[in-house]
A and B are shown apart, each in its own frame.
Chain A
């Protein structure tokens, strides 16, 4: 998916730029943005080093585990198949809490660590599913949901959709811009923003739950048990009924 989107961005941009005489701006932009990305990464080195370092302290001291218990029911509802003591739950909880509090830069480190932990979990699940499906080789499993860890797991999809739906309660930066541009009441949008965020998040949760149910039914209940049943015994081993 991203493969095509990216190719479209580059291809269409260059063609359009060539036809409208912006081609010079395009070639400058390509190099400049690559440079900007590196600048951003240098800033991120500091931020990620700092927050992930703090998170490690909070994790070792049991603080994260305490917070995780606090929003445990919510996380269990969204991610029912992540084992209770798995580290992915801690990162997901940290990410959600940082999001809600609007600690922008603290969300991404926790989010990225959560994705890595989900990847690990997905590898284990895929391994198990492959064994259940018996004959599936690594090659056969390529690109198949629940068998190939390079395919996003349901947990990853849910986690990302939730992040993109925005969980922030108080839009601090927006309030700052509004007061900077002379709003009569910069904070007037807080109530509506919370409501809009609640709706977009609710839509995201409903969508994820629906997809999760559907995919699980397709995958676990049908395909894999069927394969298990088709193990053939020689006729003389069959138990007469």
Chain B
């Protein structure tokens, strides 16, 4: 099943490319010219978001290297035990808000230490599947729109993320009870 899924995602992208180009040709478009125009557009967008990426990744790098992120995670972990969220997961929740690649590193650590099918392993798996990197997405997207006041976006994103985390804890419990 895992292999079938991996194969599916392997075939889906080439199939999509083929379909898009074929559809364009059949409709009598100048697909090469369109592609070049779009590609130029894409490059311009990257140049636009590059400064934010540098700023944001620098901030996250400093926060992680100083050890503050770990410290905050552990401190908050003592509080969350009461809600049924294991303390070991809190640094992961924090890091995932800022950086997806850093979170992946932590996920693999957790899998190594607790196993993928333990309670922590299951919560981690579900949690990582149902939330996205909040601050990263916000800064990059809002920069593309040149927006400085983000209003209720952060509140909404955090509420949705919290709902996802709560569901992960509940569902992992259900899976363990059922299996």
A109 to B128, CA, bound (A): 22
Known: A9-B60, A22-B67, A41-B53. A57 touches B35 (CB 8 A): yes
The residue of chain A having its C-beta at the shortest distance from the C-beta of B107 within the complex is: A177
Stretch at the interface among A70-78, A160-168, A220-228, A231-239: A160-168
Q: CB < 8 Å: which of A62, A187, A189 contacts B126?
A: A189
A113 to B42, CA, bound (A): 9
Is A57 a contact partner of B129 (Cβ separation < 8 A)?
no
A171-194 interface bits toward B, Cβ cutoff 8 Å, 1 = contact, 0 = none = 110111111011111111100110
Q: CB < 8 Å: which of A9, A37, A52 contacts B42?
A: A52
Is B62 among interface residues, defined by CB-CB distance under 8 A?
A: yes
Is B57 a contact partner of A33 (Cβ separation < 8 A)?
yes
Q: Output the least CB separation between A159 and chain B (Å).
A: 8
A240 to B55, CA, bound (A): 64
Q: Output the least CB separation between B95 and chain A (Å).
A: 12
Is A132 among interface residues, defined by CB-CB distance under 8 A?
A: no
The residue of chain A having its C-beta at the shortest distance from the C-beta of B179 within the complex is: A188
Is A196 a contact partner of B164 (Cβ separation < 8 A)?
yes
B110-134 interface bits toward A, Cβ cutoff 8 Å, 1 = contact, 0 = none = 0110011100011001111111111
A163 to B121, CA, bound (A): 25
Q: Count A-side interface residues using an 8 Å CB cutoff.
A: 105
A52-76 interface bits toward B, Cβ cutoff 8 Å, 1 = contact, 0 = none = 1111111111110000000000000
B21-38 interface bits toward A, Cβ cutoff 8 Å, 1 = contact, 0 = none = 101100101010011111
Residues of chain B within 8 A (CB-CB) of A63 are 20, 23-24
The residue of chain A having its C-beta at the shortest distance from the C-beta of B65 within the complex is: A29
In the complex, chain B residues 158-179 whose Cβ is within 8 Å of any chain A Cβ? 159-161, 163-164, 167-168, 171-172, 174-175, 179
Mark A residues whose CB is within 8 Å of B: 1-2, 5-6, 9-10, 12-14, 16-17, 20, 22, 25-26, 28-30, 32-34, 36-38, 40-41, 44-45, 48-63, 101-103, 108-109, 111-113, 115-116, 118-119, 122, 143, 145, 148-152, 156-157, 159-161, 163-166, 168, 170-172, 174-179, 181-189, 192-193, 195-197, 199-201, 203-204, 207-208, 211
Mark B residues whose CB is within 8 Å of A: 1-2, 5-6, 9, 12-13, 16-17, 20-21, 23-24, 27, 29, 31, 34-43, 45-46, 49-50, 53-68, 71, 104, 107-108, 111-112, 115-117, 121-122, 125-135, 137-142, 144-157, 159-161, 163-164, 167-168, 171-172, 174-175, 179
User: Would you give 19 A-B contacts (Cβ < 8 Å), ordered by A?
Assistant: A6-B56, A12-B68, A29-B61, A50-B39, A50-B42, A52-B39, A52-B41, A56-B38, A57-B29, A57-B38, A102-B9, A109-B45, A112-B144, A115-B145, A156-B147, A165-B161, A172-B6, A196-B171, A199-B167
**New A-B contacts (12) at CB < 8 Å, excluding given A54-B38, A172-B5, A200-B164:** A2-B150, A22-B65, A57-B35, A103-B16, A112-B49, A115-B142, A150-B148, A151-B151, A181-B115, A189-B122, A193-B129, A207-B156
